Chains A and B, each alone.
Chain A
Amino acid sequence: MPSNKPNWMDEEESRAEEIAETGGTSNPKAPQLVKVSREPARKQKAFYIQESFAEMFEDLAHLEKKKNGVKAPQLAEEALLMLFKKYKLDTSKL
């Protein structure tokens, strides 16, 4: 069955193909939606831990930073969460 697609369809597609090649949009100078990633409010908490533990934590934070990964506060929270779960605390309100 012959397709009776609108005559403008090919035109729009070749235009879109060109734009896709450049990775832009039809109107690249227009303001763009900026996504805001909200971090929760945090407080400082000092711990006394062994120096070797502190150094390894800093190494880990550095490695993550280099690859734009998880930040130090999030790493600390991840560790605490494991601890809370181990000791069977209710973490549902965290």
Chain B
Amino acid sequence: MKIKLVSVWNPKGGQGKSMLALNLAAAAVELGLKPIVVCQDQQGTSMLYYKGGNLPFQVIDEIPAERPNADIIFFDHQASDWEVPTTNLLIMPIKPARDQYATYIDAFKRAKKLNKEIITVVTDGQAHRADEKSTTNALIERGAYVIPSSGVFSRAAGEYRTIFDTELNKAYKVGERRKEISKILGKILLEQTIEKAEVEQYA
């Protein structure tokens, strides 16, 4: 079986790359898949979560030399990384504000020139802020997914957990947030295009 390779990428920091990589991996576990997160960030956010001991999947700090035992690999890229990832499928989180959008759209167009498949995820949006709401809606019209600002993410971060952790089963609106993450995972799994390099890398 081919391993699905997914890069979570946006050169802008603080958009939710690690949060998405970790929670998408947790959603994959819920489906009975074996995910791995490759932390490619010197800040090591994903690695810190893994060291916290609450993750039901592995986070590693470098690309494995041999084919790993996994169904799906999420590459958690670092901020300021302007090099478009080699995987065909990119997940680009973005906060819905103009200065965040400016960097996102620069990177998005750079990746599109290389014919990458891109799934945009609007993160941390505040529905009561008109500008953020209209930005979010404009991105939804172009096919973006949305994960609104939610206390459950702060709680999960405080304990180095994902929102799929059973400890957070009673958190406010956790079911909705899990559903939103799972929906993105569903879209990822439906993406059939795998570039040649991906096939060769772990062939």
**Residues of A participating in the B interface, judged by any CB pair closer than 8 Å:** 3-6, 8-9, 12-13, 15-17, 19-20, 23, 25-26, 32-33, 35
Residues of A within 8 A of B137 (CB): 3-5
Binary CB contact string for chain B from 93 to 137 against chain A (1 if under 8 A, 0 otherwise) = 000001001110110111011000000000000000001001101
Instruction: Check A20 against B82 for contact (C-beta < 8 Å).
Output: no
Query: Are A19 and B109 CB-contacts (below 8 A) given A3-B138, A25-B82?
Result: yes
CB contacts between A and B, total, < 8 Å: 52
Instruction: Check B98 against A17 for contact (C-beta < 8 Å).
Output: no
- In whole angstroms, how far apart are the Cα atoms of A71 and B101 in the complex? 41
A9 CB to nearest chain B CB (Å): 6
10 contacts between A and B (CB under 8 A): A3-B141, A4-B138, A9-B101, A16-B108, A17-B109, A25-B106, A26-B103, A26-B106, A32-B80, A33-B80
Band of interface residues on B:
20 to 34
Residues of B within 8 A of A33 (CB): 78, 80-82
- In whole angstroms, how far apart are the Cα atoms of A19 and B137 in the complex? 25
Question: A4, A12, A20, A35: which contacts B113 (Cβ < 8 A)?
Answer: A20
Residues of B within 8 A of A35 (CB): 83
- In whole angstroms, how far apart are the Cα atoms of A26 and B78 in the complex? 18
Q: Which residue of B lies closest to A31 (CB)?
A: B80
Residues of B within 8 A of A15 (CB): 102
Instruction: Check B102 against A26 for contact (C-beta < 8 Å).
Output: yes
- In whole angstroms, how far apart are the Cα atoms of A66 and B129 in the complex? 56
